[in-house]
Structure 1
Amino acid sequence: MARRHELTDAAWQRIEPLLPAQPARGGRWLDHRTVLNGMLWKLATGAPWRDLPERYGNWKTVYERYRRWAGDGTFDAILAHLQVHDDAVGRLDWTVSVDSTIVRAHQHAAGARKKGMTQGTNRTRQALGRSRGGLTTKIHLVCDGRGLPLAFCITPGNINDCTRLVQVIESIRIPRPGAGRPRIRPDRLIADKGYSTNKIRTYLRGRQIPHTIPERSDQQAIRTRRGHRPCGFDPGIYRLRNVIERCFNRLKQWRGIATRYDKLARHYRAGITLVSALLWITT
């Protein structure tokens, strides 16, 4: 019987074919399912790798495979496969919502100063920013109408939300199961006032993406003073934006996501990708 946060038999059957083949010969090889369960335990608890329970094998074995899969795109391939499957059967809801959330970085995530590089530059490269509460990382994410992650990026916590909308939207790329171009354009985008800028609205119109974004009060006053037409806004559609908040809540139930303990940005991003894939399987 699977323990809490471990892969069920149904989840393992969907993930197993997507993992790298295990070597036929060589020394003792810890099976992929045990290793993945160790990764999930670490993300669920936020504990150091060295505190991994013995039932998951040597902690260094689990860490090295996590590091390897984070670098070679294995976790990204798993998430993409699950998204393609749901889109093919018509389960993916293309009314998407976008937002960001700030994650506090633990002191162990700060890392050491690299040779020939200032501390501030190194932190920026590793998606760490100095905020009022200390070092933070920000997750910019777009989810489908069911609250499942479609694409995301991570930045230092002091980066403005609207500056990363284009990057996140252009990260949406769902291949077709057969021939044809990947699906890259949602049916509608829903966002809050933080994304209400002329640049963003112009970009979305250029991409022919209908959007529901409320105006800020100062923008409304300027538009009224200049006699411009109001931007289209449907409060009923805007209520659907709650799915992005629920998506963040589900991600942050994993302590390794709610607080960043990883020094390297690619390792923290890999954890978000793995948990996102699990959400697609269990929803």
Structure 2
Amino acid sequence: MEITQAQFAQIEHCLPLQRGNVSLSNLSVLNAILYVAEHGCKWRGLPKRFGNWHTIYTRMNRWSKSGVLDRVFAELQQAQVVRIKIEAVSLDSTIVKVHPDGTGAFKKNGPQSIGQSRGGWTTKIHMVAADARTAVTFSLSPGQAHDAPEGRALLSALGAPNRPLHLLMDRAYEGNETRQLALDLGFIPVVPPKQSRITPWEYDREMYRRRNEIERLFRRLKGYRRIFSPFEKLDVMFIGFISFALIADGLRLC
């Protein structure tokens, strides 16, 4: 798959203006990054038709650190939110196993959400999604971190919705603190109680069936080999790849 000129035109204004004698256009760099994301190859393994691998890596690194990819993702996400009628959002997480080459960075180089769990060195992607194709926001944590505290942090950063929305969550988020935060922000929590609850509550079972949408979104993301098994030592680059995958999916919908 490649990003076409028509698709590129929708996000071109979000990318830095190229000046001087530049050998690779932004569109060429985007397609090279897409190849790395889809195939999971190392930067040095890029086919020569894409140009100098170091130039492409440098631009990806610069765009990730300066927030360029975040701005593109935010603009496409806003366009998708306008396009669909949001009735509910889902909160969940998924674990990805870090490639051995993705470990060992010095802490002073930047945040590294890599932790050791039963599956080895892993990272958790926490996400709020509007449907199976639309991510609202996401964050990272080490793989051994519990879902609920990270979920609360993500909801707090997201803030209150402009109208009451159902918030679909699994039992990992059924704690009193998480449900109360959702209510305080203006969400309607839809979460099944644990069987050990002395006073269980009723929840909208029909609405809860839609929680599979965020699972399908995670499955789409893991179709990108660079996300399924990340090589990135620092969060900033892995977040860049996640944003890029969501951008590529967003361009397919536009």
3-state secondary structure, aligned to 2:93: strand
Amino acid at match of 2:118: R
In the alignment, residue 238 of structure 1 is paired with which amino acid? Y
Give the Cα separation in 1 of the matches to 2:42 and 2:12.
Answer: 26
1:30 aligned onto 2:8:
no
Query: Residues of 1 paired with 2:7 and 2:236: CA distance?
Result: 24
CA distance in 2, matches of 1:183, 1:192: 20
Report the Cα distance in structure 1 between the residues aligned to 2:157 and 2:243, rounded to whole angstroms: 13
Q: Secondary structure of 1:136's match?
A: strand
The 2-side partners of 1:28 and 1:69 are apart by 16
SS state at 1:163 partner: helix
Structure 1 segment 197-216 matched on structure 2, within 5 A: 197-216=175-194
One of 220, 226, 229 as aligned partner of 1:259: 229
Query: What letter is aligned with 1:215?
Result: P
Distance 1:10 1:186 in 2: 36
Tell me whether 1:19 sits opposite 2:44 in the alignment: no
Change (3 A) 1:218 1:158: same
Q: CA deviation at 1:206?
A: 1.2
Contact 2:69 2:244 survives alignment (8 Å):
yes
Give the Å deviation of 1:42: 0.6
Distance 1:210 1:148, change over 3 A: same
2:90·2:130 contact (CA, 8 Å) conserved in 1?
yes
2:241 alignment partner in structure 1: 271
Which runs of 5 or more structure 1 residues have no equivalent in the other structure?
174-181, 224-229
Q: Please, which runs of 5 or more residues in structure 2 have no aligned partner? A: none
Instruction: Tell whether the 8 Å contact from 1:172 to 1:184 is kept in structure 2 after alignment.
Output: no
After superposition, the Cα gap between the structure-2 partners of 1:9 and 1:270, relative to the gap in structure 1 and judged at 3 Å, is same
Change (3 A) 1:143 1:270: same
Contact 2:130 2:136 in 1 (8 A): yes
- How far residue 265 of structure 1 moved from its aligned partner, in angstroms, is 1.1
Write the letter of the residue equivalent to 1:149: A
Alpha carbons 1:18, 1:77 under 8 Å: kept: yes
Deviation, structure 1 residue 146? 4.3
Identity value in percent: 34
**For the residues of structure 2 that align with 1:148 and 1:192, how far apart are their CA atoms?**
19
Asked if residue 49 in structure 1 is aligned to residue 43 in structure 2, the reply is yes
Partner of 1:187: 165
Cα RMSD of the aligned pairs, angstroms, is 2.0
Query: Cα distance, 1:18 vs. partner?
Result: 1.4
Counterpart CA distance in 2 for 1:164 and 1:204 is 13
Which of 85, 97, 105 aligns to 2:98? It is: 105
Contact 2:170 2:191 in 1 (8 A): yes
Where does residue 137 of structure 2 map in the other structure? 151
- Relative to the length of structure 2, the TM-score reads 0.93
Contact 1:83 1:92 in 2 (8 A): no
Number of residue equivalences = 253
